[in-house]
Structure 1
Amino acid sequence: MAGEVASIKKKDKLVTSILFWCALIVVSSVYTTTPLIDVFSDYFSTTRTHAAWTSSSFSLFYAIGFLFFGPLSDRFGRKNIILTGLLALGILTPLIGMTDQLEWVVALRGIQGFFAATFAPTALAYAFEMFPKQKLVTVIGFLSFGYVTAGIFGQVLAGGISNYLGWQSVFVVFGLFYLITFVVVLLFLPRDYKRFKYSGLKRYLYQITTLFKYRNLVLCYLITITLLLTFVGMYTVLGNYLGNEPFQLTETEILYIRAFGFIGMLLSPLAGRLVNTFGLIAMLKFGLSLSSICLVLMGLSSSLYIIIITSILFVGGISLLFPVIMLLIGEFGGEQRALASSLYAFILFIGATAGPLIAVILMSIGNYMITFTVLSFLLAIGIPASFFIKYENASYS
């Protein structure tokens, strides 16, 4: 009996580790071109606005993909959809590094983003169906940590590969990661056998529109769209900011500063304890206020140390906001929790699509201070919205 229990625990740890790795490596592709905007601008002899589409096209089709692969996984199975996405990514991703035309990079990034959307909504449903309730919090915690950590991991890994091997190698390396991950998932992730009645995409989209009748959900979605918009927007500007006067840092030094963001991400696993102590809405207001203030300070400061500290705190605030918003949407979604979560992911990455474009446009018509201040204002819109969200706190330990 003891041996059987130990075997189950070992299997659960393996599956949790695989899901965490998939979350980390798949979502990292959202951020791989964030440190490459200037590289693309120079290589293709184009503007930074045009180069920013290598990031925005991915995010746009990534968001659209969430609306498709949720219902498709009901019909064809969770593991099958995850495997399809990983195989497609393994084939498509290296092709991006083999083209010499920016238009093809943008187009292939869009297709890559669409297939990357196979994982997030499917993995959440897979976890709910494959794990007992008492283990579910831990598994979802690792999934969420993978998503959040990808925001820095993807940038640092892509930037490092680009610095030493060239930007083309970034996509070759990630393609290999996806193919290896495909084999691991195929061999070690247990197959799900539960299937659900497929009511059709039209009905699915209609059900999503009904969610906008609920004020609390609408307010949460308003805050959601600003999260990755400001996160990706900030990092799009940061590299250029630090590479010019008065800092004139090298690409390697900028890479180290991006890596410091990992420190801020440590707040994400602590979200449950903080929420239990202070409440969901209090943590929502705190995260929004902290990140908004840090964006302003980054634009105003001429001290590299203050910029590093405020960038870490900004990431910390954003990392805290992700699980808080997910918990609120899960609560407010009720029986339509899966639909509400899919719409959350869609809106989140619509914001990620707009982030680099808005940041680059602001830079072209203003300066760093104006850019960071406007991004701060966009994030701060969520602060008054949070006062109108009505919620009775629950325990999330």
Structure 2
Amino acid sequence: MNPLTHQRQDTNEIRLIISLSLASMVIFINLYLVQGMLPLIADSFSVSKSHATLLLSVTSFTMAFSLLLFAVLSDRVGRKKPILVSLYLLVALDFCALFITEFNQLILLRMVQGALLASVPAMAMAYFKDELGNNALLKAGAIYIAANSIGGIAGRLLGGGMAQYLDWQQAMALLTAVSLIGTLIVSYLLPKSHFVKPEIELSKWPLKRSDFNGFCHHLADPKLRLIYLVGGLAFMVMVNQFSYIQLHLMDSPFYLGRFEVTLIFVCYLSGTYASYRSAKWVGQLGLKRVFIYSVLALLSGSLLTLFDSLGAIFAGFLISAFGFFLIHSSCNAWVAYRAKQHRAKATALYLCSYYLGAAIGGPYLLPFWLVWGWQGVVLGSVLGLSVLALVVFKLIQPKSSSGPLVMES
């Protein structure tokens, strides 16, 4: 290969990884901002803080099913255009949030936003698979998942700072500015997609049954079904624990302030590290050991918080976040490798299950919280993680091996 051509290819690969990682940060800042703003939302719209936690659930719910539609759309028009259009529409809705005055209006706006937030997660791994070689795919995926984690941390901390120092209109103006700047940078950096449409006719509208054949193909794979279930169960527990621990830390005996409670999200940094290192650990240890260690980390981290001191709670969430992101990165990569066709749809199905878990987890844990407080949330979490352990045990049997992702070292 001509050295100049090779250098240009390397530059495009770097731009692709940076731009999709930045796009994911914009997406996850918008998704998780409300999780750090629960006190401000409760005060601004006259609802209880536990009721305000449902905002994340409704957004995750519409996001989950929109992932499937974006996967179909990407097969018709490619990856780049839907990502950019959805990001600009997201900025417009952030601006509209300035004028929201009722909680029901906010619920509706967040549902629409959830549909737009699905674009990047639905297409990113397929975009990488189209443009990158196998050697770069695992590394790109690990960096992308780490960016998801950083975006989640930034959104929650930004939300906590807003809740402490800004009113609703000021907070939404700042969010609009952050989203617009990120979107403009992504527009500049994101390289042209070389995705080639399948030979079957995809240019005619409306959608046909054939557009959904890829979903049926992947759902017929028993191993992929188990991977989807693993991601959904793990996220159902982990992300909603972060919502309820804020309420616990604002109550007796801690009485932390609005911004102080969001510092718990710094624990996501252990997950960022786990995501970045996941490719190497999978290669060294094999998926079987990685999955086992991940589930044990989720269980032990949850139980550690029962000691109910700030040190134990922060240590527990550091361990839980580490285990969760390790299992999430491994699932994401496994899906990308196992899917030989309809890759965007394979990833979309995984993320649909993943975000449905988030949507279900809030209402699932709410009765445990209302009756027994944080101890109840841990009880509900352990029950969910016990089911996860059973699914993982079935998934990691030797016959589950799938190509390059070896099960044993």
TM-score normalised over the length of structure 2 = 0.89
5 Å-filtered alignment, 1:29-178, equals 29-178=30-179
Say whether residues 1:240 and 2:247 are aligned partners: yes
- Residues in 2 aligned to 1:361 and 1:202: alpha-carbon distance in whole angstroms: 40
- Residues in 1 aligned to 2:370 and 2:44: alpha-carbon distance in whole angstroms: 19
What code does the residue aligned with 2:400 have?
Y
Shift of 1:315: 0.4
- Residues in 2 aligned to 1:169 and 1:203: alpha-carbon distance in whole angstroms: 47
Say whether residues 1:203 and 2:182 are aligned partners: no
State which drifts further: 371-380 or 208-217. Answer: 208-217
The alignment partner of 1:388 has SS state of helix
Q: Deviations over 1:285-340 (max 9, x none)?
A: 21112112211221x21221111111111100001011111233334444454432
Shift of 1:109: 0.6
Q: CA distance change for structure 1 residues 355 and 195 in 2, over 3 Å: closer, same or farther?
A: same
Equivalent residue number for residue 270 of structure 2: 263
Shift of 1:283: 1.0
The alignment partner of 2:362 has SS state of helix
State which drifts further: 255-264 or 190-199. Answer: 190-199
- Residues in 2 aligned to 1:328 and 1:183: alpha-carbon distance in whole angstroms: 32
What code does the residue aligned with 1:40 have?
I
5 Å-filtered alignment, 1:214-253, equals 214-253=221-260
Shift of 1:74: 1.9
Equivalent residue number for residue 332 of structure 2: 326
- Residues in 2 aligned to 1:186 and 1:43: alpha-carbon distance in whole angstroms: 34
Check conservation: 2:22, 2:186, Cα contact below 8 A.
no
Q: CA distance change for structure 1 residues 47 and 164 in 2, over 3 Å: closer, same or farther?
A: closer
User: How many residue pairs were aligned?
Assistant: 396
- Residues in 1 aligned to 2:405 and 2:151: alpha-carbon distance in whole angstroms: 24
What code does the residue aligned with 2:392 have?
S
5 Å-filtered alignment, 1:274-313, equals 274-298=281-305, 300-313=306-319
Equivalent residue number for residue 190 of structure 1: 191
What code does the residue aligned with 1:26 have?
I
What code does the residue aligned with 1:29 have?
N
- Residues in 1 aligned to 2:223 and 2:194: alpha-carbon distance in whole angstroms: 35
Check conservation: 1:62, 1:114, Cα contact below 8 A.
yes
- Residues in 2 aligned to 1:100 and 1:303: alpha-carbon distance in whole angstroms: 38
Equivalent residue in structure 1 for 2:369, among 363, 374, 391: 363
Q: CA distance change for structure 1 residues 355 and 170 in 2, over 3 Å: closer, same or farther?
A: farther
The alignment partner of 1:387 has SS state of helix
The alignment partner of 1:203 has SS state of helix
- Residues in 2 aligned to 1:152 and 1:180: alpha-carbon distance in whole angstroms: 18
Q: CA RMSD in A?
A: 2.4
- Residues in 1 aligned to 2:138 and 2:377: alpha-carbon distance in whole angstroms: 38
Check conservation: 2:145, 2:272, Cα contact below 8 A.
no
Shift of 1:8: 4.3
The alignment partner of 1:100 has SS state of coil
Check conservation: 1:96, 1:104, Cα contact below 8 A.
no
Check conservation: 1:279, 1:393, Cα contact below 8 A.
no
Check conservation: 1:49, 1:361, Cα contact below 8 A.
no
The alignment partner of 1:323 has SS state of helix
The alignment partner of 2:247 has SS state of helix
Check conservation: 1:216, 1:332, Cα contact below 8 A.
no
Shift of 1:239: 0.8
Equivalent residue in structure 1 for 2:322, among 306, 312, 316: 316
Say whether residues 1:392 and 2:393 are aligned partners: no
Equivalent residue number for residue 219 of structure 2: 212
- Residues in 2 aligned to 1:395 and 1:154: alpha-carbon distance in whole angstroms: 35
The alignment partner of 2:394 has SS state of coil
- Residues in 1 aligned to 2:358 and 2:229: alpha-carbon distance in whole angstroms: 14
Q: CA distance change for structure 1 residues 28 and 182 in 2, over 3 Å: closer, same or farther?
A: closer
**Identity across matched positions, percent:** 21
The alignment partner of 1:245 has SS state of coil
What code does the residue aligned with 1:90 have?
V
Check conservation: 1:295, 1:314, Cα contact below 8 A.
yes
- Residues in 1 aligned to 2:104 and 2:74: alpha-carbon distance in whole angstroms: 31
Shift of 1:396: 5.9
Check conservation: 1:289, 1:380, Cα contact below 8 A.
no
State which drifts further: 40-49 or 365-374. Answer: 40-49
Equivalent residue number for residue 273 of structure 1: 280
Q: Which blocks of at least 5 consecutive residues in structure 2 are unaligned?
A: none
- Residues in 2 aligned to 1:371 and 1:313: alpha-carbon distance in whole angstroms: 17
What code does the residue aligned with 1:247 have?
F
What code does the residue aligned with 1:275 have?
V
Q: CA distance change for structure 1 residues 47 and 256 in 2, over 3 Å: closer, same or farther?
A: closer
Q: CA distance change for structure 1 residues 152 and 96 in 2, over 3 Å: closer, same or farther?
A: same
What code does the residue aligned with 1:375 have?
S
Q: CA distance change for structure 1 residues 337 and 186 in 2, over 3 Å: closer, same or farther?
A: closer
